[in-house]
């Protein structure tokens, strides 16, 4: 009897120990850096899209050389090339804005056809001005094409991975679409061996590199997200929280860059005696801001903070209504009345994203260049 009793007690202790372990909260260690196992393989398709998108932008920007023109068909050919093609992952809305018969691929063909441009009441079809090409309304089409695709192509593609079925390999893909890589250099300059590209490059410019910036937030979220995915079902709530953080930092990077370009355009348009080079620089910065903003329109609301109604309101303030004719030239011809709208855009974005006053001031700067990193 004594032997049976001892065995029974031992068994009870074993079961009690198991119950205690099962009831303890699971823990996980978040690594300090991103673990790169098969990034290049996992993100192969996303890198193809990114490469083709860069080819479109390069072709569009070739018009900055005097006498060089580009046709809509040349851009369409690049747009439909590759597997997957850029055209296959863009929002339907921005696909129409670019590739339709009156879209920006056609607009840049017309504007680069050999004419010249002077900011004034629209006439003709635009042309070459101070090393850039503008349409007759004063907007730089190559920048709208390029920067609009950052959200309409890259972020839109990333949202197809941002769901409850997300896998660790998908985080590699999202990082590639952001334009970053597992080294997370926080720099798009040639000072680093694997520089950031596209949105990651601009996120780095908005990051003071003090451990609290937007780029750093994206990096931290990506590292934690991957760890929680690998951790499995006990960490679903943590996984979902980091996925939200990842989206937020990406979107904030874009909004901060729109603010930067509003600051830059204002500084040129408000000069007492702006040169033609100043005016072209202002319209260039302004056009980049329009592109960055416009690309977010029709991204599913579950994946973004800003609403389409707010985007429309901001585009109207930018004199580039989403479905209307831009009056961009008025920032030059009627600066006194039009340029204050850029500050209103800044204020609205500050409110939407809860940026601090110091953030708004910091977004004026390119911190990568200023810090030489």
Instruction: Give per-residue pLDDT as tens, 31-49.
Output: 999 998 899 999 999 999 9
Residue 295 contacts residue 149 (beta carbons within 8 Å): yes
Higher-confidence position of 2 and 346: 346
Return d(Cα 76, Cα 55) in angstroms, integer. Answer: 11
Q: What is the pLDDT of residue 37?
A: 85
Domain of residue 282: give its range.
35-371
CA-to-CA separations, 81 to 60, 99, 225, 237, in angstroms, rounded: 16, 14, 32, 39
Higher-confidence position of 251 and 25: 251
Residues comprising the chain, all counted: 373
Share of residues in the chain with pLDDT > 70 (%): 93
Please calculate the CA angle 83-85-253 and round it to the nearest 5 degrees: 115
Return d(Cα 246, Cα 288) in angstroms, integer. Answer: 23
Q: What is the pLDDT of residue 25?
A: 63
- For 140-155, what is the mean pLDDT? 98
Count: domains in the chain? 1
Q: Name, in order, each residue with C-beta under 8 angstroms of 75's C-beta and a sequence gap of 6 or more.
A: 56, 59, 60, 98, 105, 108, 145
Residue with tokens 């060089």: 68
Is pLDDT at 329 greater than 80 in this prediction? yes
- For 176-182, what is the mean pLDDT? 98
**19, part of any domain:** no
Q: What is the pLDDT of residue 24?
A: 56
Is pLDDT at 3 greater than 80 in this prediction? no
Is pLDDT at 11 greater than 80 in this prediction? no
Element at 334 (helix H, strand E): none
**21, part of any domain:** no
Average pLDDT across the chain, whole number: 93
Return d(Cα 167, Cα 183) in angstroms, integer. Answer: 20
Element at 308 (helix H, strand E): helix 308-317
Is pLDDT at 199 greater than 90 in this prediction? yes
**273, part of any domain:** yes
Q: What is the pLDDT of residue 36?
A: 85
Is pLDDT at 168 greater than 60 in this prediction? yes
- For 232-252, what is the mean pLDDT? 97
Q: Could you give the 3-state DSSP secondary structure of residue 41?
A: helix
pLDDT tens readout for residues 46-102 = 999 999 999 999 999 999 999 999 999 999 999 999 999 999 999 999 999 999 999
- For 322-344, what is the mean pLDDT? 97
Is pLDDT at 12 greater than 80 in this prediction? no
Is pLDDT at 265 greater than 50 in this prediction? yes
Neighbouring CB atoms inside 10 A of 11's CB total 10
pLDDT-based confidence at residue 9 (cuts at 50, 70, 90) = very low
Is pLDDT at 266 greater than 60 in this prediction? yes
**63, part of any domain:** yes
- For 105-126, what is the mean pLDDT? 95
pLDDT-based confidence at residue 26 (cuts at 50, 70, 90) = confident
**120, part of any domain:** yes
Q: What is the pLDDT of residue 126?
A: 96
**364, part of any domain:** yes
Return d(Cα 159, Cα 295) in angstroms, integer. Answer: 14
**28, part of any domain:** no
**103, part of any domain:** yes
pLDDT-based confidence at residue 346 (cuts at 50, 70, 90) = very high
Is pLDDT at 268 greater than 70 in this prediction? yes
DSSP code, position 28: -
């Amino acid at each position: 009897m004594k032997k049976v009793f001892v065995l029974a007690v031992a068994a009870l202790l074993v079961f009690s120990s198991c119950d205690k372990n099962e009831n303890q909260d699971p823990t996980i260690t978040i690594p300090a850096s991103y673990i790169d196992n098969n990034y290049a393989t996992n993100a192969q398709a996303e890198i193809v899209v990114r490469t083709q998108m860069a080819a479109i932008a390069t072709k569009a920007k070739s018009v900055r050389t005097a006498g060089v023109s580009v046709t809509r068909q040349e851009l369409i050919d690049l747009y439909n090339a590759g597997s997957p093609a850029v055209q296959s992952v863009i929002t339907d809305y921005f696909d129409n804005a670019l590739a339709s018969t009156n879209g920006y691929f056609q607009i840049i063909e017309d504007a680069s056809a050999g004419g010249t441009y002077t900011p004034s009441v629209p006439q003709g079809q635009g042309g070459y001005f101070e090393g850039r090409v503008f349409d007759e309304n004063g907007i730089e089409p190559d920048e709208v094409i390029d920067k609009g695709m950052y959200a309409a192509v890259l972020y839109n593609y990333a949202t197809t991975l941002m769901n409850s079925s997300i896998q660790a390999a998908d985080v590699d893909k999202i990082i590639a679409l952001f334009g970053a890589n597992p080294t997370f250099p926080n720099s798009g300059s040639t000072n680093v061996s694997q520089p950031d590209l596209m949105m990651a490059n601009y996120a780095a410019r908005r990051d003071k590199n003090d451990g609290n910036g937007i780029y750093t937030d994206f990096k931290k979220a990506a590292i934690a997200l991957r760890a929680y995915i690998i951790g499995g079902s006990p960490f679903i709530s943590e996984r979902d929280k980091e996925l939200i953080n990842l989206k937020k930092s990406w979107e904030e990077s874009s909004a901060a860059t729109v603010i930067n370009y509003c600051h830059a355009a204002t500084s040129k348009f408000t000069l007492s005696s702006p040169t033609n080079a100043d005016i072209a620089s202002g319209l260039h910065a302004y056009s980049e801001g329009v592109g960055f903003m416009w690309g977010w329109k029709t991204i599913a609301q579950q994946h973004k903070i800003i609403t389409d109604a707010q985007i429309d309101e901001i585009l109207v303030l930018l004199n580039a209504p989403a479905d209307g004719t831009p009056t961009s030239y008025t920032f030059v011809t009627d600066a006194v009345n039009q340029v204050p709208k850029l500050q209103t855009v800044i204020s609205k974005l500050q409110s939407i994203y809860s940026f601090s006053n110091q953030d708004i001031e910091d977004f004026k700067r390119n911190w990568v260049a200023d810090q030489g990193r």
